[in-house]
Amino acid sequence: MLKIAIDGRFYGTGHTGLGRYTTNVLKYLPKYLSDHTLQVLLRDDQYEHFAGGKNVEKVNAEIPHYSFAEQLKLPFILASLKSNLLYTLHFNAPIFFRVKTIVTVHDLIKSHFTGADTTTRSPWLYAIKRQGYNRVIEKTLARAEDIIVPTNTVKNNILAIFPGIKPERIHPIAEAPDEIFRQNLKFENLRFKIPTKYLLFVGNVYPHKNLPVLLEALKLLPTQNLVIVAKPSPFLSRVLAPYDRTRIHILSNLTDSELVSVYHQAQLLVTPSLMEGYGLVGLESLMVGTPVVASNIPVYREVYGKKVTYFDPKSSADLAKTVTSVLKKKRPAPLDFKRTWDDVARDIAEVINARCTSL
């Protein structure tokens, strides 16, 4: 029996996408690694909420993500555990900890989008953060025994930027929608008022999400309303500032069932990103029978195939034309998407178990 340290500090839905990924994987992973002891590192706010399992030891690690403490203090905690292997659910592994590591890289968006519009930090602090990211991602990928990614698109992106990495070390493991999207939920009486007909955008509003192209397209669709489901942020305020808000409706802090209802009632979902690691929002929409208009980028072609309608992400006119065309078509039947988070955890466990046999 080996000791496997797992960095679960993103556990909990408070960390949005990374939190959901971590929470869903750790729900099922212990049963597929039952021959080993799992030492799961958790922050204070989630320590008591994590159920664990018979082969799980909870370890308190109140260390902020992407911080100097992550690189300086976390190695001491890991050293005290005498772990045989470290598995991280994000790229931010401690680069000064000499133990075999399996790392997860969801995307390389931070490597491609580097402008001042990608941060709310002061220029000098952002410059330091950029240098820190570059060093951590480079060292982590160079040292990792295995790299888990959500798509072949991300794998190819890594190989393009870091050509020294052997392709066989990178394992594409697709994600899965939450179980609530498989349930035949009735529409909820929502706590807020929204139009009866609307286009939908779901996600944060970082620059790579490319929301402005949708806002410009809305000008060309004078009878349409737009509902944006996003957390309030400086990025959201910055993007919306030039636009008339009359037909734009912002929703935040939805429950999962409310989100399903908002998907259900939408005429269609628009996901205009310039880059992604996967693309769960499109699958979630398809699973409730709401059509999707997606930017024509490689990762969406890989994940969605022919299930959605694509548009040029640099052309608001093409987006408006595509939306108009899709709205004339019959709504699709709900997508019967088979893959679950149990499947995701099982596939991750295969990578970990294979590595354990070589230790």
Residues 131-188 pLDDT 10s: 888 898 999 999 999 999 999 999 999 999 999 999 999 999 999 999 988 876 656 6
Secondary structure class of 270 (helix, strand, coil): strand
Alpha carbons 260 and 89: distance in angstroms, whole number? 26
- The reported pLDDT for the residue numbered 183 is 76
User: What's the pTM?
Assistant: 0.94
Alpha carbons 288 and 256: distance in angstroms, whole number? 13
Q: Please report which confidence band the pLDDT of residue 130 belongs to, taking 50, 70 and 90 as the band edges.
A: confident
What's the average model confidence in pLDDT over 295-300?
98
- The reported pLDDT for the residue numbered 15 is 52
Contact 21, 7 (CB under 8 A): no
Count CB-CB contacts under 10 A for residue 338: 8
Q: Domain extents for the chain?
A: 3-176+340-356, 179-327
- The reported pLDDT for the residue numbered 260 is 92
Secondary structure class of 269 (helix, strand, coil): strand
Residue 315 has pLDDT above 90, yes or no: yes
249-277 residue pLDDT tens: 999 989 888 999 999 999 999 999 999 99
What's the average model confidence in pLDDT over 235-246?
95
E strands present in 85-191: 85-88, 101-104, 146-149, 170-172
3-176+340-356 and 179-327, same CATH topology: yes
Nearest to 313 by CA among 282, 270, 279: 270
State what percent of residues in the chain have pLDDT above 90. 77
Pick the CATH number of 179-327 from 3.20.20.150, 3.40.440.10, 3.40.50.2000, 3.40.50.150: 3.40.50.2000
Name the CATH superfamily, with its identifier, for domain 3-176+340-356: Glycogen Phosphorylase B; (3.40.50.2000)
- The reported pLDDT for the residue numbered 184 is 67
209-238 residue pLDDT tens: 999 999 999 999 999 999 999 999 999 999
Q: Which has more pLDDT, 50 or 326?
A: 326
DSSP string across 164-223: TS-GGGEEE------GGGGS-PPPP--SS---SS-EEEES---GGG-HHHHHHHHHT-TT
Contact 188, 294 (CB under 8 A): no
- The reported pLDDT for the residue numbered 185 is 63
35-81 residue pLDDT tens: 999 999 999 988 888 987 889 999 999 999 888 888 989 999 999 99
- The reported pLDDT for the residue numbered 182 is 84
12-28 residue pLDDT tens: 866 578 999 999 999 99
CB contact set of 147 (below 8 Å; sequence gap of 6+): 102, 103, 104, 105, 141, 158, 165, 169, 170, 171
Averaged confidence pLDDT in the chain: 93
Secondary structure class of 308 (helix, strand, coil): coil
